[in-house]
Structures are given as C-alpha cells and as structure tokens.
Chains A and B, each alone.
Chain A
Amino acid sequence: MNCMRKRTWPACTPTICIVLLVCALTSCVDLSQVTSFADAATQAGTALTPLVNDLRGSCERLNSYAPEGATLRDCAQYDKLEKGISSAQGVLVNYMQALAQLSADKKVTFSQGTTDLAGKLQAAGLDATASTSATGLAGKLADAVTNGYRRKKLAQFIHAENKDVQTLTHALSDIFQKDYKQLLTNEEVAMDSYYQRALQKPNRDREPLAAVLVVHEERQARDELKARVQAAEAYGKVMRSIADGHQKLDEAGQSLNTKDLFQFLGRDIGDISSSLNDVYSAFK
C-alpha cells in the first residue's frame, strides 16, 4: 500500500476505486450467519428423528397400562403417520441444507484456487508487485461476483418460500406441541389409573415388597414421560425458531448485510441449540 504511505490521492485512486467496487458488488456481505442458522436448523431436523418415531412408542406404552380385558389400540396406524411427518420434516431439512450450501463460502473456491496465480503471472513476465496486485484483485472480484449472485439468489428463494416455511413449521410444531402432547397426556392418565390399581389396598397388603418395586417403577415412568413432554415443547421451540429466523431473513431481503442480522439470527440459533438438549435428554 505505497499509495497510502505517501498519501498521494491520485496514486491511491485506483486502489480506492477497486475497494469501493468490491464493496459495492458484495455489499461487504457476511453470509456466515445465514449459513450458521441454516446449519443449526438442519442439525435440529436430524436430532428430532427419535421424537417423530415416538408416536408408535406412546401408543405401545398406553397399551401397557390398559385395564384387564380391554381391547388394545392398533399401534401400527402410527407407522404411516411417522413416515408422513419424517418426510415433511425431511423436506424442510433439505431446504435448510440447500440454503446453507448457497450461503456458504466453502462452495466458492476461486480465491483458494488463485494462490499460484501470482507465480504464474511473474513467470509470464509481469513484475512481482503487479503480479501480486493482479492476483489479489482477481480473487476479490471473483468473490464479489459470486457473493453478489449468492446474495441475490438467497433473497429470492427465501422470499418465495417464506410463506410455505411458515406454514410447514407451524404445522409440525402443532403436531408435536398439541397432538403428540395430547397422546402423552392420555398416556399419563392411563398410567395414573394403572399404578393406582396396582397399589390399591388389597394388592399392597398382599405383596408389600412388590408394592415398593411398583412405586419405583412408577417414578421412573413418570420421569421419562416428563422428559418426553419437555421434548415435545422443545420441538415446537425449534420449529418456531426456524420460522422466526426465516421470517427475519425474508424481511432483511436484499440487505442481508444489516448489522442486526447477527443479533437476531444469533438468538434463533441459540434457541435451536438449547431446545435440542431437551430432546437429547428425553431420548438418550
């Protein structure tokens, strides 16, 4: 940066122009937050799989609490629903993964590929300073072009799909926060009755030691059920965070370089990560 040391503006002009051009083309964008958000949503989708597969599990546990002589529920009916939920969730995960790829720097490798360009230019007859400058500029301009394209495409896709993403995340959230939770609540009622029957006076007096074991078993079953209820809540939170983050990206539109983006997406990413801990602990 000789021009800067000498502070001669005419000499600096080309450098300043190039820096301004590169900034204008890229809007000095940092898409890493978009990538982090999309990555967090993708990982969440994978982590939520055991929860999706617990619809049948809940039915089987409910059957285990059935009173004597009762007709058991057909739990095979949940296999089809689990497949449907997995497939809908899979589509959301694939979409987030695609957004992560589109926003990720790693896909664009031009700058990395030009590391030997300076040497080649020197070998071709350019002097060392000119070769280095040309290499740096080539890399920056290439990144500017690809970043500009990525930013434009990201904004287009996010805007076009925002309504659908809101609908799907809301639907998946409802399934777990309302319907799966209802199934768990029913399981709890059946469990209450089952253990109350087991611990009723004649049974307790007849086999006091067995009653102690039943109390222990009941406590464990209650803890597991509580963890599953928390996991269902966590699933809803994850979906809300995905919806929220996507909405913010849509609102940011072409100006994905806003300073606020880091703040709002950071919170959504944090919410997704912390909610997943509840799911992990329920299905570890």
Chain B
Amino acid sequence: MPQLTADDARSLAKQFHDAAVAVGNYRFNTPGLSASAAQRLDGLQWTLLNYSSDFATAAIAITLADVQKTVGSIDAATTAIGTAVKKIETLDKVLRVASALAVLGAAIITQNPLAISSAIGGVATATQSSPA
C-alpha cells in the first residue's frame, strides 16, 4: 500500500474539516432537534474535527521526515561556513605579521638600530597573536 504523502494528509484534513462544518450547520440550523440528537451531532462533529486535526498533524510529521536529509545538508554547510570565517580571521592575522615585517624591512633599510629593535618587537607581538 503506498504511503500517505503530506499533500494527501492535507487533503483529508480539509475534507474532514468540511464535514465537521456541515454537521455543525445542520446541528445549529435545524429547529426542533431533540437534546439527545443535538448531543450525538456534537459528538460526531468533535470526532470529525479530531480526524481533521490528526491528518493535519500527520502532514507536519511527514513534512519534517521528508526534509530530514535537507536539514542535515544545511547543517553541514553551516559548519563549513564557520571554517571559512575562521580562515578569514587567520588571513587577517597573517596580514598583521606581514605588516610588522614590512616595518622591520623599512627599519633595516634605513639602518636605524632603535627602529630595528622596535620592529623586531612588533614582529614578535604580531606572531604571538597569530593562530597556532
């Protein structure tokens, strides 16, 4: 027997709902109904509404089951994006080290001992702040 799809369940939910509405219309628009007949109609309408809600609930469950694989794929992509973001942070730090090295290069070219010493300190700091 083929399995119920979410759309099948939705269609059944709608049909049971419509039937419940029809029972309600009859129940409240028919003059002279006995108390017991009214009570039976109330019970019948409640049963039909329950079936409608059961099918709507089944549609939710089927939809969720259908997207399980999709959800897993998006979750994996999110992890990969996180890795890309970390790489950008790494790149940022690499560029910091490079700029500190540029300062060192300028200091060496100008043969300024104080500046060389300070630039070495700058390279050391930038290196320490970079990721392992």
Q: Which residues of A contact B (CB under 8 A)?
A: 55, 59, 62, 66-70, 73, 77-78, 81, 84-85, 87-88, 91-92, 94-95, 98-99, 101-102, 107-110, 113-114, 117, 120-121, 123-126, 134, 138, 142, 145-146, 149-150, 153, 157, 160-161, 164-165, 167-168, 171, 174-175, 178-180, 182-183, 185-186, 189-190, 192-193, 196-197
Query: Would you call B43 and A69 a contact (CB within 8 A)?
Result: yes
Chain B interface, >50% SS class: helix
**Chain B, Cβ-Cβ closest to A78:** B57
**Chain A, Cβ-Cβ closest to B53:** A186
**Alpha-carbon distance between A120 and B132 when the two chains are bound, in angstroms:** 25
The yes or no answer to B37 lying at the interface (CB within 8 A) is no
Q: In the assembled complex, which residues on chain A have CB atoms less than 8 Å from the CB atom of B109? A: 125
Give the residue of B6, B57, B103, B122 whose beta carbon is less than 8 angstroms from that of A81.
B57
Query: Would you call B103 and A113 a contact (CB within 8 A)?
Result: no
Query: Would you call A171 and B10 a contact (CB within 8 A)?
Result: no
The yes or no answer to B39 lying at the interface (CB within 8 A) is yes
Within the complex, the shortest CB–CB distance from B109 to chain A, in Å, comes to 7
Query: Would you call A91 and B71 a contact (CB within 8 A)?
Result: yes
Sampled A-B contacts (17; CB under 8 Å): A77-B57, A81-B57, A84-B61, A88-B67, A99-B81, A102-B88, A113-B92, A125-B111, A138-B99, A142-B99, A146-B88, A168-B70, A171-B63, A182-B17, A186-B20, A192-B24, A193-B24
Considering only residues 79-132 of chain B, those with a C-beta below 8 Å from chain A are 80-82, 84-85, 87-89, 91-92, 95-96, 99, 102-104, 106-107, 109-112, 115-116, 118-119, 122
Within the complex, the shortest CB–CB distance from A257 to chain B, in Å, comes to 18
Give the residue of B17, B53, B92 whose beta carbon is less than 8 angstroms from that of A146.
B92
Within the complex, the shortest CB–CB distance from A217 to chain B, in Å, comes to 19
Query: Would you call B102 and A121 a contact (CB within 8 A)?
Result: yes
* Most-contacted residue by chain B among A120, A161, A167 (CB, 10 A): A120
Q: How many positions in chain B have a CB within 8 Å of any CB in the partner chain?
A: 62
Query: Would you call A67 and B91 a contact (CB within 8 A)?
Result: no
Q: In the assembled complex, which residues on chain B have CB atoms less than 8 Å from the CB atom of A175? A: 59-60, 63-64
Chain A interface, >50% SS class: helix
Given A85-B60, A157-B77, A189-B20, 11 more pairs with CB closer than 8 A: A77-B57, A81-B57, A98-B85, A108-B88, A109-B92, A117-B103, A124-B112, A124-B118, A150-B84, A153-B84, A182-B52
Q: In the assembled complex, which residues on chain B have CB atoms less than 8 Å from the CB atom of A186? A: 17, 20, 49, 52-53, 56
Within the complex, the shortest CB–CB distance from B40 to chain A, in Å, comes to 10
Give the residue of B17, B28, B52, B88 whose beta carbon is less than 8 angstroms from that of A150.
B88
- What are the 9 tightest A-B residue pairs by CB atom distance, in nearest-first order? A125-B110, A124-B107, A98-B81, A67-B42, A182-B56, A124-B106, A124-B115, A142-B95, A84-B64
Q: In the assembled complex, which residues on chain B have CB atoms less than 8 Å from the CB atom of A107? A: 85, 88-89, 92
Contact bitstring B21-54, A, C-beta under 8 A = 1, else 0: 1001001100000000001001101100110110
**Alpha-carbon distance between A66 and B14 when the two chains are bound, in angstroms:** 20
Q: In the assembled complex, which residues on chain A have CB atoms less than 8 Å from the CB atom of B118? A: 120, 123-124
Within the complex, the shortest CB–CB distance from B126 to chain A, in Å, comes to 9
Give the residue of A102, A120, A134, A160 whose beta carbon is less than 8 angstroms from that of B122.
A120
Query: Would you call B115 and A123 a contact (CB within 8 A)?
Result: yes
- Would A70 and B85 be within 8 Å (CB), given that A78-B57, A125-B112 are in contact? no
Q: In the assembled complex, which residues on chain B have CB atoms less than 8 Å from the CB atom of A113? A: 92, 96
The yes or no answer to B3 lying at the interface (CB within 8 A) is no
**Alpha-carbon distance between A141 and B79 when the two chains are bound, in angstroms:** 28
